[in-house]
Chains A and B, each alone.
Chain A
Amino acid sequence: MKVNTMKFLVSRIAGIAVAFGLIMSGTAFAAEDEAPTPHYPLIKPKNVEWSFGGPFGKWDIGQLQRGLKVYTEVCAACHSMNLVAYRSLSALGYSNDQIKAYAAEYEVTDGPDDEGEMFQRPAIPSDQFVGPYPNVQAAKAANNGAAPPDFSLLAKSRVPLRGFPYYVFDVFTMYAENGPDYIYSLLTGYVDAPANVEVPENANYNPYFLSGSALAMAAPLSDDVVDYDDGSPQTVDQYAKDVAAFMMWAAEPDLVSRKAMGFKVMIFLLIFSGLLYFTKKRIWSSVKH
């Protein structure tokens, strides 16, 4: 029977294909270890317990205020944050007058005035954060050709890929803090380069760095560089955590209200789908299907 032989052949092909599929998934994972180029970051970010993680995440206001202090006193010397407005600091628990005073320490270029001249004036709450450099070219020139990135969205844009199968688990564990985890790990991750790694001039070895083994920025934090007035430890570890949390806030100011609204929406949809389930069951109860 010719048909039967062909059928046999076809089912054989199918079997081989399935087996092949399984082998493929195996080899694909094995391949990750022996890939020709090293994969960055060399070390995956450390996991930090963030107050804003999980379904009921809340900002730790004290931490955000400390983070702002670290940003202002250390990071702001090189990094701008030009998508954030001073007025948004009210979310960090500051009063209008405090925000006004904070903004007034910076100068913005305004104008032209009636004589056609641009002029400097103190920043006001409705202004965006004033950066340390007038433009990217100036930032590059002042930093050996590597412009320090803007802080506004860094916690959302510097996110090491988690890789299969971790991202599948992440959906269920609701893990979305890879951004701040990465920032914290990078800030605390400066170590001396191992003997076999050659670090280019003007670069600093850091195994947590996303796109290489070394980056232009030297370790920016050291113990006691910022004075905390709430008694929190003045360590690099604490500074790094605080500024990472602050950067998450800067990147996603609505994160907490988003989760709070999400909870209400989920509860609503659960109740509604429950009601619909019973309604549907009633309606279909007289029809076999």
Chain B
Amino acid sequence: MSGHSAYVPKSGFGKWMDARLPLARLVYDSFVAYPVPRNLNNWYTFGAILSLMLVVQLLTGIVLAMNYVPNTTMAFDSVEHIMRNVNYGWLLRYMHFNGASFFFIAVYIHIFRGFYYGSYKNPREVLWILGVIIFILMMATAFMGYVLPWGQMSFWGATVITNFFTAIPIVGDSIQQLLLGGAVVANPTLNRFFSLHYLLPFMIVGVVILHVWALHVTGQTNPTGVEVKSEQDTVPFTPYATMKDLLAMTVFLLVFAYFIFYMPNFLGAPENYVRADSLKTPSEIVPEWYFLPFYAILRAITFDIGIPFTDIVLINSKLGGVMAMFGSLLIFFVVPWLDTSKVRSATYRPLFKQFFWIFVLVCIGLGYLGAKPAEGIYTTLAQILTFWYFFHFIVILPVLGLIEKPKPIPASITEAVLAKNGVAKS
């Protein structure tokens, strides 16, 4: 972090290598000697858990691709071939399938941890933006991966999602055709989705490297939100953070394994075990759980937006829904500038803390409504929660910074830690 490297090569080969490609020095500086705040709690382990999930998804994905056939006539059968005939195929496929869900569980916790502790604030805006890019790439990857088994939900999910683009005025239909390689979801679509589903994870790896790089430039935040001031505030990454992360990863894997081995289909739609049929839509199309809040926002816009007291429609409900849905994601990019408070951590922001938890409830509520039929009371509730979602970002975050009176902030991390543990303890 300080730019000064403490690495001293020990062996002769180490010295030889260090003068040519200082890989060992990079690893040592980034993952051994790298100082981390001593007061990081377990919410800060989800970055490591996410790296683990990325590796699990890459490994299982690569071996699944050895057995999968991206062709509409064979895709469904090849997945069943993996499940029934390939050695440990069922295990690899269930790992990959549930892995997507657990990847999102981890990323949502990671994001909300960032919201709570103000991890996006100066000087970590770029770090945050890179994280949002990873999140969006993850969503694209998950969506395209879901199409590959070529079940009913795969097919109709792809149909609905790619129809978003037809909402764009004038060029919408052409864009949709370009994406699908035809008028409807068909073999060209499946083929390109497979190719992109294989490609995007490596782009994620690339952005993750930038994300970690940016993190190591600014250093981690911590529950107090006070920047590291002296060496006393930190511990070396190894063994302190490594052990903590390893423990958290193993506990996370324990829950992951429970789902893989005992509830492997719990998080999936049963309908996807029915072969895709382009002439028959399932009675309800529900996306995977991790898309539900965004799906609820999409469906909440049931009204046209126009000039009042005239019949002029500026944005019809279809375009409005798509804009709201993409907007709900894109707004993450500007959060560092929407939050005007100088205080980083919610620990010292009593009002923000309350609004944070309301926001969490709103997101859960939207997720619940996303799985419900879009009718009656559900639509009304979704509209109210969608309003609040945007209200939180556009109004609450800027206003709170101006009116909130924060609690006294400790002078340093060490001071906060000692206060917590009782200073009298010798």
A interface residues with partner B (beta carbon < 8 Å): 3, 6-7, 10-11, 14, 17-18, 20-21, 24-25, 27-28, 31, 35-36, 55, 83-85, 88, 149, 152-153, 156-159, 164, 167, 170-171, 174, 176, 179, 211, 251-254, 258-259, 261-263, 265-266, 269-270, 272-273, 276-277, 279-280, 283-284, 287-289
Most buried by A among B239, B260, B273: B273
Interface SS of chain B: helix
**B38:A153 contact, CB within 8 angstroms:** no
What residues on B are CB-neighbors of A158 within 8 Å?
A: 270
Q: Which residue of B lies closest to A152 (CB)?
A: B80
Q: Which residue of A lies closest to B373 (CB)?
A: A35
**B91:A258 contact, CB within 8 angstroms:** yes
What residues on A are CB-neighbors of B240 within 8 Å?
A: 283-284, 287
Q: Which residue of B lies closest to A9 (CB)?
A: B403
Chain B interface residue count, Cβ-Cβ cutoff 8 angstroms: 64
Nearest Cβ on chain B to A201's Cβ, whole angstroms: 21
Q: Please provide the 6 A-B residue pairs with the shortest distance between their CB atoms, ordered closest to farther.
A: A262-B261, A157-B273, A159-B270, A276-B247, A273-B250, A153-B273
Nearest Cβ on chain A to B38's Cβ, whole angstroms: 5
Q: Which residue of B lies closest to A288 (CB)?
A: B421
Task: Report the stretch among B108-116, B175-183, B334-342, B374-382 that lies at the interface.
Answer: B374-382
What residues on B are CB-neighbors of A152 within 8 Å?
A: 80
CA gap between A172 and B250 in the complex, in Å:
20
What residues on A are CB-neighbors of B368 within 8 Å?
A: 25, 28, 164
Candidates A251, A266, A279, A289; contact of B257 at CB < 8 Å: A266
What residues on A are CB-neighbors of B403 within 8 Å?
A: 3, 6-7, 10
Nearest Cβ on chain B to A118's Cβ, whole angstroms: 19
**B273:A10 contact, CB within 8 angstroms:** no
Q: List 11 A-B contacts (CB under 8 A).
A: A25-B368, A27-B377, A28-B368, A156-B273, A157-B271, A159-B270, A176-B266, A253-B84, A254-B83, A263-B261, A269-B257
**A273:B235 contact, CB within 8 angstroms:** no
What residues on B are CB-neighbors of A270 within 8 Å?
A: 254
**A266:B247 contact, CB within 8 angstroms:** no
Most buried by A among B77, B270, B271, B405: B270
Nearest Cβ on chain A to B253's Cβ, whole angstroms: 6
Given contacts A6-B403, A14-B351, A258-B91, contact A170 B250 (CB under 8 A): no
**A88:B261 contact, CB within 8 angstroms:** no
**What 13 new A-B contacts, CB under 8 Å, besides A18-B361, A24-B381, A176-B266?**
A7-B404, A14-B351, A21-B362, A28-B381, A36-B375, A36-B376, A83-B80, A251-B273, A262-B260, A262-B261, A284-B244, A287-B38, A288-B38
**B273:A35 contact, CB within 8 angstroms:** no
Nearest Cβ on chain B to A266's Cβ, whole angstroms: 6
CA gap between A27 and B369 in the complex, in Å:
12
What residues on B are CB-neighbors of A83 within 8 Å?
A: 77, 80, 84
Q: Which residue of A lies closest to B38 (CB)?
A: A289
Nearest Cβ on chain B to A232's Cβ, whole angstroms: 28
Given contacts A17-B388, A159-B270, contact A211 B283 (CB under 8 A): yes
CA gap between A11 and B350 in the complex, in Å:
10
Nearest Cβ on chain B to A12's Cβ, whole angstroms: 11
What residues on B are CB-neighbors of A7 within 8 Å?
A: 351, 403-405
**B351:A156 contact, CB within 8 angstroms:** no
**A88:B84 contact, CB within 8 angstroms:** yes
What residues on A are CB-neighbors of B39 within 8 Å?
A: 289
Q: Which residue of B lies closest to A57 (CB)?
A: B262
**B257:A288 contact, CB within 8 angstroms:** no
Candidates B235, B244, B257, B355; contact of A280 at CB < 8 Å: B244
What residues on B are CB-neighbors of A31 within 8 Å?
A: 376-378
Q: Which residue of B lies closest to A263 (CB)?
A: B261
**A28:B377 contact, CB within 8 angstroms:** yes
What residues on B are CB-neighbors of A17 within 8 Å?
A: 358, 388
**B351:A55 contact, CB within 8 angstroms:** no
CA gap between A102 and B107 in the complex, in Å:
51
Nearest Cβ on chain A to B63's Cβ, whole angstroms: 17
Q: Which residue of A lies closest to B414 (CB)?
A: A288
Nearest Cβ on chain A to B402's Cβ, whole angstroms: 9
**A176:B265 contact, CB within 8 angstroms:** yes
Given contacts A28-B368, A258-B261, contact A157 B270 (CB under 8 A): yes
CA gap between A6 and B270 in the complex, in Å:
50
**A287:B246 contact, CB within 8 angstroms:** no
CA gap between A164 and B94 in the complex, in Å:
24
CA gap between A35 and B374 in the complex, in Å:
11
**B91:A261 contact, CB within 8 angstroms:** yes
Would you list which residues of chain B between 242 and 294 have a CB under 8 Å from chain A?
243-244, 246-247, 250-251, 253-254, 257-258, 260-266, 270-274, 283
CA gap between A36 and B373 in the complex, in Å:
11
Candidates B38, B253, B358; contact of A21 at CB < 8 Å: B358
